[in-house]
Amino acid sequence: MTKKITIALDCMGGDKAPDIVIKGASMVAEKNKNVHFIFYGDASLVDPLLQKYSIPQDRYSFVHTSETISNEDKPSVALRRSTKSSMRLAINSLKDGESDAVVSAGNTGALMAISKVILRPLSSIDRPAIVTFLPNMQNKATVMLDMGANIDCDADVLYQFAVMGYVYAKTVLKIKEPKIGLLNVGSEDLKGHDAVKNAAILLKESELANAFYGYVEGDDIAKGTVDVVVTDGFCGNITLKAIEGTAKMISGILKKGLSASICTKIGYLLASRSLKKVFKTIDPRFYNGAMLVGLNGIVVKSHGSTDEIGFYNAINVAISLVEDNINEKIMKEVQSSDLNSVTTPNSATTTSNIS
């Protein structure tokens, strides 16, 4: 018999919470009978939605929470004061073994700070990262990390990201031999700052040497030049937002152009099936769900501005990570790569955007 999977949901996190959280969960519940939910949120707001979207009562449990972490709250303040928040209690459930994964669309910094303190990083991992995947021109996906958890990273941390991204690509995207690239301002060996150059040295001298492609530039992400793109959280977050903004712009231009006249409307009807595939390919909602990789537990961050379709996909990412035993595979790769012995002289100090 297939093991039941329990997903803890932060119902109060996100711009459109709790509606999109409950509706997204109802969509998952309808298609996956093996999933049980624990909802954490304000009963006065969540209870009516549970009735509205008709989730069977035997498929979930509900915990009322009196506190909510807003997007404006500083992570350090949320960590100290919001001990009864929907986000904190959901993460506690993972620590206590009551759930198999947590999904939240709430404050990213707070989610990382609380998760790191409550769950702790995996052995030999200095800093957990946010990892996601993006569509590329090879009709596949490009894994990318870090997407914003760590603003400045030294070479050792970038190397750890490479290891975790490699395992993520193999496990989640089922790529047998992922190629790794370091995001840089050019492909030449002399380009880039010391952290990137030293990370390249570490990869060339590691068990992942054959998987290391070298430096990649921004346009290589969409080209699909490599399967895993490694960078610090500053560059990663800016890159992600730029890609998403461009995708929305292209989608908007296409939709506006296709409704400009009767002829274009007729053309849209004739090509509607193909155009729907195009819109889906560049729609960020279908790539929603970024893992906080490197923690003793599975935590998935959803975009705060997503709708129920995006949240539905984020839940499915969490389910896949549980089914694939992602952390066990990361630890196996970490042990084979012997991260404890990896050190680089003159590396910059690693800092985080969590304050």
Looking at per-residue pLDDT, the higher value among 45 and 284 belongs to: 45
- The yes-or-no verdict on residue 231 having pLDDT over 90 is yes
The pLDDT, as a whole number, for residue 349 is 39
Query: What confidence tens digit (pLDDT) does each residue in 178-222 have?
Result: 999 999 998 888 788 899 999 999 999 988 999 999 999 999 998
The pLDDT, as a whole number, for residue 283 is 73
Give the pLDDT band (50/70/90) at residue 277.
low
Alpha-carbon gap, residue 233 to 58, rounded angstroms: 40
Looking at per-residue pLDDT, the higher value among 281 and 182 belongs to: 182
- The yes-or-no verdict on residue 341 having pLDDT over 60 is no
Query: What confidence tens digit (pLDDT) does each residue in 165-179 have?
Result: 998 998 888 899 999
Query: What confidence tens digit (pLDDT) does each residue in 71-126 have?
Result: 999 999 999 999 999 999 999 999 999 999 999 999 999 999 999 999 999 888 88
Alpha-carbon gap, residue 180 to 290, rounded angstroms: 19
Alpha-carbon gap, residue 144 to 238, rounded angstroms: 12
According to DSSP, the β-strands at 141-145 and 228-230 are: parallel
Query: What confidence tens digit (pLDDT) does each residue in 296-311 have?
Result: 999 999 999 999 999 9
The chain-wide mean pLDDT, for the chain, equals 87
> Burial level of 244, CB count in 10 A (0-12/13-18/19+)?
middle
- The yes-or-no verdict on residue 350 having pLDDT over 50 is no
- Is 182 within 8 Å of 231 (Cβ atoms)? yes
Q: Strand, helix or coil at 282?
A: coil
Which element (helix H / strand E) includes 317?
helix 308-323
Rounded to the nearest 5°, which phi and psi values hold at 37?
-115, 145
Ordered by where they begin, the domains of the chain are 5-119 (3.40.718.10), 129-284+332-341 (3.40.718.10)
* pLDDT, average across residues 49-72: 93
Sequence-distant (6+) residues with CB within 8 A of 268 are 258, 259, 275
Crossing angle (nearest 10°) for helices 155-172 and 326-337: 130
